[in-house]
Amino acid sequence: MTATALTACTGYAVSINDNPVYNPPTLFTDFRLPDAALHDCVQQTIEDRQVTQATQLTQLNCSSAGIESLAGLSTFTALRAISLNDNPLEDVAELRTLSRLEVLLLENNQIRSAEPLLSLLRLKEVDLRGNTALECRDARQLADNAEGKVRLPEHCTEAS
């Protein structure tokens, strides 16, 4: 009976006679993201999903958040899916160390180079549409090498 009662209180500290019996794990806070918009998005996701370790964060949706920099995102090495559509991002170099990434949505940003994405061998879905400043050589190489679906900006799909 006591175990059942404690299980129902996983979000609360439980004490008996002022002696702690159970303290819930604390949310993960050991990260630094200089971009305030990215920090707010990650913080909200940690709270919503009750993430207590960096490796528990596997999905992140930060679309339309005003994110300009991904600095510090490499802390979350277990990320498998990221949506960063509709942000003013120019540089995605921080993503190169996220080797578990399978889904990467970057539609309508200002990304200039897809080169950092070439080392992400598990990518199954990439969306780069709407990145009008994107250099096409690396983007096309990414599309050729990826096992999944890579959507390129219109200027990279036109016959050259």
DSSP string, the chain: -HHHHHHTTTTS-EEETTEEEE-PPPPP-----SSHHHHHHHHHHHHHHT--SGGG--EEE-TTS-----TTGGG-TT--EEE--SS-----GGGGG-TT--EEE--SS-----GGGGG-TT--EEE-TT-TT--HHHHHHHHHH-SSEEEPPHHHHS--
Q: How far apart are CA 28 and CA 43, in angstroms?
A: 9
54-94 confidence digits (pLDDT tens): 999 999 999 999 999 999 999 999 999 999 999 999 999 99
What is the residue whose two structure tokens read 């709407």? Answer: 130
Radius of gyration, alpha carbons of the chain: 20
Q: Residue range 5-19: average pLDDT?
A: 62
18-62 confidence digits (pLDDT tens): 777 767 789 999 999 999 999 999 999 999 999 999 999 999 999
Predicted TM-score (pTM) of the model is 0.85
Of residues 7 and 147, more confidence is placed in: 147
Q: Residue range 124-153: average pLDDT?
A: 95
Distances (CA, A) of 123 to 11, 34, 50, 158: 35, 26, 26, 23
Average pLDDT, the chain: 91
What is the residue whose two structure tokens read 């690396």? Answer: 138
Q: How far apart are CA 62 and CA 14, in angstroms?
A: 35
